Chain A
Amino acid sequence: MKLPTFLGGVHPPEGKALTEDKAIETLLPKGDLVYPLSQHIGAPCAPVVAKGDHVKVGQKIADTEAFVSAPIFSSVSGTVKEIGPRMTIPGSVDTCIVVENDGQYEEAPSLLENPDSKPRPEDYVKLIRAAGIVGMGGACFPTHVKLSPPRGSVIRWIIVNGAECEPYLSCDNRLMMEHPESIVRGLELVLELFPDAQGVIAIENNKPKAIEAMSAMVEKCGNERIRVMPHKVKYPQGAEKMLIWSVTGQETPPPPALPADVGCIILNARTTYQIWLALTKGRPVTHRIISVTGDAVAEPKNLEVPLGISVQELIDACGSFKEDPVKVLAGGPMMGLAMRSLDVPVVKGTSGILCLTAKSAWIVEESACLRCGRCVEVCPMHLEPTLLDHAVRRRDYAEFEAHGGMSCIECGSCAYTCPASRHLVQSYKDGKAAVTAARRAAAAAAKAKAEKEAKE
């Protein structure tokens, strides 16, 4: 049987054997919990608690009026110790709420008005926002925004993304193996909102146990609108546009088009789980599963941790380092962020902590492009990565845009495969930032001009 897939892509070493057989363990925090006010795409939150306040597990501590945003919750009970600057995963210093854990784990009341009965479907999206759910795969796009597609768009597919194509990570795999019912039920709840949609659970074929568990659960639940679709193993299968293509055969137009424009909504497996947790138990996002792995870690594990816990505590819980790491990443090796300090808090989008030694990390000087065309061959967006790279290095951002640079999904397939080790993704990040800044400046200038003309 031919499995669905996409054109392009690469096959990096999977590295999943380190954690895929490790059952999820719960880790209790030892130190203070730190909650950055921006854990999502969109407007940052403002604190709704003050220093000295007592908070409970699942109590809202920060929120905003903005639509594209999501509230933040305490994951322990205790006292608000401080609201101030702390270093976060990307290496920037952001305002954070620091909670001192009292070790009691007193729970805040349910988000549901009537915890004994099912909420009404028209309240689902409101509840999902109230529960602070964002894309838990790492993108952190607020889920209630995804579930509010533009008027007139017909949603035909709800795709649960269990591809987990990033090497080393197995947190979604374990979640699907250990909690298949929550995911299927979560998908059923979302399907209630979209009567024309079918539910597809997409899993890469290197997770046979997850496929088995999810298929058995789909059969048991007997919902004819849901099916499990195994996919060929290839990176970046889990990227939104690749998944839409392999499941539905449709191409998503470049931004600002959304998956909803081609009738799709993609939800990560953990996100679907959180929807189930919010709509049936009334619990917000306070915990997540993290694969702590890599060849520098003594005992790689899958840990269910409270958000806000320090990365250092996760590594201590895995027997610390057996070898000195040269890189510690938040996320997988293809798209993860390299951290400069381990004293940073876990946030909603942290799917893994990957510790690489000098043997497995890629630290090489780049050399000249050979025009070998490998990047063109592997680019899942069918761009010409080397041309984009040259354009950015010439600071020719118009050329970068003309060659489709803004469509780049930064998956890193090109840089992974480049024999000259060109730092391609770095170029695209620069190029995209420059184009975005230029667009903003142009829009601001146009607005100022219009205002001036209106005055005259």
Chain B
Amino acid sequence: MNKLIVSTSPHIHSPLTTRQIMASVIIALVPAGVMGVWVFGLPALWVILTCVAACVLSEFVWQRLNGKKTTIGDLSAAVTGLLLAYNLPPTIPLWMAVVGSVFAVIVVKQFYGGIGCNIVNPALAGRAMMLISWPIAMTTWTLDGISTATPLAVMKMGAAATSSATAAGPAATIPSLWNLVTGSMAGCIGETSALLLLLGGLYLMWEGIISWRIPVIYIVTTAVLASAFGHGGGHFPHYEVLAGGLMLGAIFMATDYTTSPMTAKGQIIYAFGCGLLTALIRTWGGYPEGVSYSILIMNVAVPLIDRYTAPRAMGMPVKSWLSKGEAAK
């Protein structure tokens, strides 16, 4: 007989692993990516492949150089690459996509200790860095080979009642509802098809990878508050939901485990905060879009939210929320 292994209980384990979680996220993201390539053509495919390859390779090289165990097998770097690509315009020069990927994986993820330790979402932080560094390349949109504006930018200009001299041409109009649902509109590679993003989100909920809380509360809060704030000049709230990066952000970015709260109560607060900030930025901010920065800001609030929403252990006295925060210190 072989030698018996002695270890602490439990001796059985649920089949779910980090790798499987990441694989499910990739599967859920595929349809929207295919649609992106369909709408924007081959350049979109090159951007996606470049980002994924750059993310995986930079994680591998970094861990090798530092004598750490390679963790590219957990597929988290591939997910970061995919999400970053989905947040880029299809016309972005590929070298910029590479710089963004390296920044996301090495500076945002590995500098903080690798998977599970980063304080903000790597893909979103990568995008934010690119938006600051190359504002024009990051906000040039084309559809069917013609430069145009994103629906939210059109809404913003409409709301501000300014002339369209600087931004888009006269062709810039708000797309039909059908085009919003399917994704035939200007925008980032992966954010345009609301229907396919929703499909991916439902798959992740079905698989138990994410809960409904963050996406639903985030989307509803944004729609209700942006309409209440009078954003969009009388358009229905569904434009708020379907146009721009809200679906992608709410389903795939805000639900990132590492940078969202662990308790149900915390997730509700966090999602509401994301929705509030998005509505504020869209209505009164300088950007037409607000999803990336809202999520990044709420990411850094997560440790605080976690502290104040810590569950009460069974048999412990009920404390006020203030003293709970004190005790956790």
Contact = CB atoms under 8 A, between A and B. Distances in A.
A10 interface: yes
Contacts of B11: 327, 329, 333-334, 336, 338, 354, 356, 361-362
B163 interface: no
A384 B314 CA distance: 12
Contacts of B312: 382
Nearest to B16: A419
Contacts of B261: 373
B41 interface: no
Contacts of B2: 324-326
Contacts of A416: 10, 12-14
B96 interface: no
B43 to A, nearest CB: 33
A377 B265 CA distance: 11
A287 to B, nearest CB: 26
Interface in A345-393: 354, 356, 360-364, 367-373, 376-377, 380-384, 386
A402 interface: yes
Contacts of A371: 116, 257-258, 262
Nearest to A375: B262
Contacts of B114: 368
Given A257-B315, A324-B2, A372-B21, A426 B8 contact: yes
B5 A419 contact: no
A363 B5 contact: yes
B313 A381 contact: yes
A339 B313 contact: no
B8 A370 contact: no
Contacts of A245: 314
Given A337-B9, A372-B21, A419-B20, A383 B4 contact: no
Nearest to B115: A368
A425 B116 contact: no
A412 B7 CA distance: 13
Contacts of A71: none
B14 A417 contact: yes
A334 B9 contact: yes
A380 B314 contact: yes
Given A368-B114, A404-B313, A335 B10 contact: yes
Given A324-B1, A373-B262, A420-B116, A360 B314 contact: no
Given A373-B257, A384-B262, A419-B16, A425 B315 contact: no
Contacts of B136: none
Interface string B1-32: 11011111111111011101100000000000
A356 B10 CA distance: 12
Contacts of A248: none
A199 B216 CA distance: 46
B117 interface: yes
B4 A338 contact: yes
Given A383-B311, A419-B20, 19 more contacts: A167-B12, A327-B4, A334-B9, A334-B11, A338-B8, A354-B11, A356-B11, A361-B5, A361-B12, A367-B115, A368-B115, A368-B117, A373-B257, A384-B311, A412-B10, A415-B9, A416-B14, A423-B7, A426-B7
